Chain A
Amino acid sequence: MNLVRKSICDGVNFSNIKDNRFKTGRVSITVFVPLDKDKVAQNAILPFLLSKTCEKYPDLKNLNDRLENLYGVSVGAEVSKLGEVQVLSISATFLEDEYSLQKENIAQGAVDLLCQMFFYPVLEGMAFLGENVEQEKRQLIEMIESEYNDKRVFAKNKCEQWMCKDEKFGINRLGTVEQVKSLTGQEIFDAWLNMLSSAKIEITLLGKADSEKVYERFRDEFSKVKRTNVVACATKIIKRAGKISEYADVMNVSQSKLVMGFRTEVSADDELVNAMRVAVAIFGATPYSKLFLNVREKYSLCYYCSAKYDKNKGIMMVQSGVENENIDRAKEEILNQLEEVKRGNFTEEDMQAIKRSMTNSFRTVGDYLSSMENFYLSQIFDKNKVTTDELIEKIKKVTKSEVITAANMITLDTVYVLKGKARP
């Protein structure tokens, strides 16, 4: 993965990964802003609103005619969280020119569209067009509500929200239904202007397209924008859990969900970050981890039970789906298995197996455009940025005693249970 990064202007960078292996190319604009409870909703609506229309193609139908005529350019709009940073992105994935039926210029067409969307939205005076705003407000509200439909996602979000209720991390990345309802075209316009003038922005181009041309295009667009001081983003890490908090909701579901949130003391820039990655994987991230082998295979308590480490916030979440009457047993067994890792009850061979599995997944990153982009952007705030190969080397060097040290820094903070009651 050969990445070339250039500055466009203060706080705005352009990165190019030249790669000839793929049938498609990809261009994306990613915006990083602090997660702020009063601004979260007006920021969250931006990618969706911007990616649906623009001055040149003022309604959804015009824009989609154009996208489909360009061999189905796939436009993505996303809002995610990187620690306590709200990440807004719009992207276009397009067929490389050489595969078009009549050798058309798709790449530059897709770049042009993305620029049109980002820099030239449909406005009325100093506000986004009212009917477009109402349309996206409705859809954003439906998106927030549909997260309640998926009980796995719902239970995990609930646990995170309770665990981090006094931290920015506990803020829903999309805002609340009430916040979205009250948004106005002016507020969103202001959020857009703020983003253009002061947010940290990363533009990435992957594939065969002429990167000079694309770079020039973005530089030209940003030369029309007045940039001010770039807003700083930071994530607060709580090192250890205090008293264990327990929360539960009861619902008409067949299967109960158990989610456990842990503090790990270790985040992206810490020495032990890779030891923590290995520790969490030995504990519960693969089919030969302790959670799978014991909670699932040995005791048949569940279909899924796994642990996930978030290096940006320094937390670990364990998720499982179990019978009501087995909730306590599962919880006990999960903690039991964590103790096993803390005591060093795993063999050198267990650790090698986990390292091979991690090596495998980091190496596979290079075979997918979006994984390469993600891998790179997920480190954007890290002091020491690494390539996949460098990361693999670091993982290989992790010792058993480092894993034990890391595991012993993990403390249980919050337990959330979504309890099933028999459906009538």
Chain B
Amino acid sequence: MVKLEEINSERLHDKYYRVKHKSGLKVYIYPKEGYNSSYAILGAKVGSIDTTFKIPGKAENIVVPDGIAHYLEHKLFESEEGDAFAEYAKTGASANAYTSFDMTGYLFSCTEDFDKSLKILIDFVQSPYFTEKTVKKEQGIIGQEIKMYEDDPSWQVMFNLLKAMYHNHPVKKDIAGTVESIAKINADNLYEVYNNFYNLNNMTLCIAGKVNPVEILNILDEKLKPSYNMVPETIFAKEPYEIVKQRVEQRFPISMPLFQLGFKENASKGRMTIEESTQTDIILSVLASKSSKLYNDLINKGLINDSFGYECFEGPGYLASIFSGESRDPDKVAEIIKERVTELHAKGIVEEDFERAKKSIYGKSVSLLNSAENIANVMLTLDFADKELFEAVECIANTSLIDVNERLKSQLDVSNCSLSVVAPEDGSLNI
């Protein structure tokens, strides 16, 4: 039996377990006392950006069509015996999956027969079955998924921004690919991606809620097939520091214009540390939270509404601070944000604002630990970024103003930002 490592948080009165299974799979188990439901997510570290990769020991790069990780996610639900959903129907679990830029997750939530559902999950993710016929069938479904996103102005405003910021990085490409790129997907290239990336050494399982860790380990021992520790390396073309374009605009049949303003930042040093990520969260909160001077200025001038938001957008080879929302005058919003950033750079963050932001971010992070779903999802995302949950919360409590002000110097470069606008069509009729 593999060893369960217990990680306790006195501050949160909670604990979770960490296991490195002999098959290579990393496992986190977070019990929630008194919960009715359990949630499990099995993640593979492969997403839409992994389209050019290299296998250790081999010379040449392998290039696969855009959107293949997402296509694979759809197809993995089918095995030779049938469909995983039909299996879940026998346990009552609610199952789903998603693909992002840098990972794919297969998940379920249930209130009974957890062991059966976990076995279904582990089985189908380990049993690829692709034929030309089953692959072909999915094109109509994913084609409609792509078209649904094509009509979604909030999705388009984001990808237009990414294209305006990134010259070469594949993060600028739509996660599902295009109708043209998915036409190039076949059983062979699906197996190629599967066989390289769905290696248990490149995967993590996170479980939270009503759980019994020992029972879980027994299931893992029974079900996991050992795998060689050979993880492919994704190859990214060199990405310049500078943005591509300062402003992009697209017309849509909408009535409220949307915008995203992105400050591109240097991501060549690898993934952010927990400290850096906490410091950035505090900077963005001081700058743009509802108590900030910026937010109140923009609201009082009638330039934004409740949909305004901001985030640190970060992953392998990309890093940006993004502000988004609806506005009648996106250019004015961008101008005011840049003015305020310049002012913040000149004056630095003051103690009072720092303390307020810290408390607020701390409170929101702890609140996330209410939901088994959030816990497991966050643990997975953190693990793929080489971080851990309780460390992240602890880091907020211990962060210092000096470090935050130091970090501010390397962030939010007003000369390196792009504005993406989605505006109503001329003369478009509001029905």
Contacts and interface: CB of A to CB of B under 8 A. Distances in A.
Nearest to B302: A138
B36 A21 contact: no
A60 B297 CA distance: 11
Identify the interface centre among A21, A288, A364: most chain B CB within 10 Å of its CB: A364
A139 B154 CA distance: 18
Contacts of A149: 153-154, 252, 254-256, 258
B347 interface: no
Contacts of A24: 366-367, 370
Nearest to A302: B144
Contact of A68 (B111, B147, B289, B326): B289
B36 A99 contact: no
A225 interface: no
7 contacts: A101-B359, A251-B253, A254-B147, A322-B144, A360-B93, A368-B371, A420-B151
A359 interface: yes
Given A65-B356, A357-B92, A23 B36 contact: no
A317 interface: no
Nearest to A257: B151
Contacts of A61: 291, 293, 296
Interface in A323-338: 323
Interface in B306-351: 306-307, 326
B109 A364 contact: yes
Interface stretch (A140-148, A264-272, A373-381, A397-405): A140-148
B370 A22 contact: yes
B94 A357 contact: yes
B270 interface: no
A218 B34 CA distance: 30
B40 to A, nearest CB: 14
B151 A302 contact: no
A40 to B, nearest CB: 19
B89 interface: yes
Contacts of B86: 288
Contact of A255 (B150, B360, B371): B150
B370 A368 contact: yes
Nearest to A251: B253
A68 B36 contact: no
Given A21-B33, A60-B299, A149-B255, A356 B148 contact: no
Contacts of B430: 145, 148
Contacts of B326: 142, 146
Interface string A53-75: 00000011100110111111110
Contact of A353 (B90, B253, B371): B90
B142 interface: yes
Contact of A23 (B142, B291, B367): B367
B402 interface: no
Interface stretch (B133-141, B212-220, B225-233, B239-247): B133-141
A360 B110 contact: yes
Interface string B53-92: 0000000000000000000000000000001011011111
Contacts of B45: none
Contact of A366 (B36, B94, B255, B363): B36
A355 to B, nearest CB: 8
A95 B366 contact: yes
Interface string A87-105: 0000001110011010000
A364 B37 contact: yes
Interface string B82-117: 010110111111110000000000000111100000
Contacts of A253: 151, 253
Given A249-B431, A300-B139, A300-B141, A67 B290 contact: yes
Q: List 4 tightest A-B contacts by C-beta distance, closest first.
A: A356-B92, A71-B363, A300-B140, A72-B360
Given A21-B34, A72-B361, A303-B142, A99 B151 contact: no
Interface string A29-66: 00000000000000000000000000000011100110
Contact of B85 (A64, A95, A287, A360): A287
Given A255-B150, A356-B91, A64 B302 contact: no
B163 interface: no
A108 to B, nearest CB: 16
B2 interface: no
A360 B37 CA distance: 8
A2 interface: no
A93 B255 contact: no
Contacts of B367: 23-24, 72, 74, 93, 95
B248 interface: no
Contacts of B32: 21, 367
A297 B84 CA distance: 13
Given A146-B326, A252-B253, A252-B425, 6 more contacts: A69-B360, A72-B363, A142-B305, A287-B88, A323-B144, A367-B37
A120 interface: no
Contacts, number: 199
B376 to A, nearest CB: 13
Interface of B: 11-13, 32-37, 83, 85-86, 88-95, 109-112, 137-142, 144-145, 147-148, 150-154, 209, 252-256, 258, 289-291, 293, 295-296, 299-300, 302, 305-307, 326, 355-357, 359-364, 366-367, 369-372, 397, 425, 428, 430-431
B290 A64 contact: yes
Contacts of A152: 148
A217 interface: no
A110 B313 CA distance: 31
B36 A364 contact: yes
Contact of A60 (B33, B290, B302): B290
A61 B297 CA distance: 10
B290 to A, nearest CB: 4
Contact of A146 (B94, B95, B252, B256): B256
B305 A139 contact: yes
Contacts of B34: 20-21
Contacts of A101: 359, 362, 397
A19 to B, nearest CB: 8
A230 interface: no
Contacts of B147: 254-255, 321, 323
A99 B366 contact: yes
Nearest to A149: B254
A404 to B, nearest CB: 20
A68 B93 CA distance: 38
Contacts of A361: 94
A166 interface: no
B203 to A, nearest CB: 23
A20 B371 CA distance: 14
Contact of B144 (A73, A251, A252, A303): A303
A301 interface: yes
A236 interface: no
A71 B291 contact: no
A212 interface: no
A300 B142 CA distance: 9
Contact of A64 (B13, B92, B291, B306): B291
Contacts of B364: 72, 74
Contacts of A368: 370-371
Nearest to B144: A303
Given A24-B370, A356-B91, A148 B291 contact: no
Contacts of A367: 32, 35-37, 209, 371-372
Nearest to A52: B299
Nearest to B356: A68
B94 to A, nearest CB: 6
Contacts of A249: 431
A112 to B, nearest CB: 17
Nearest to B96: A287
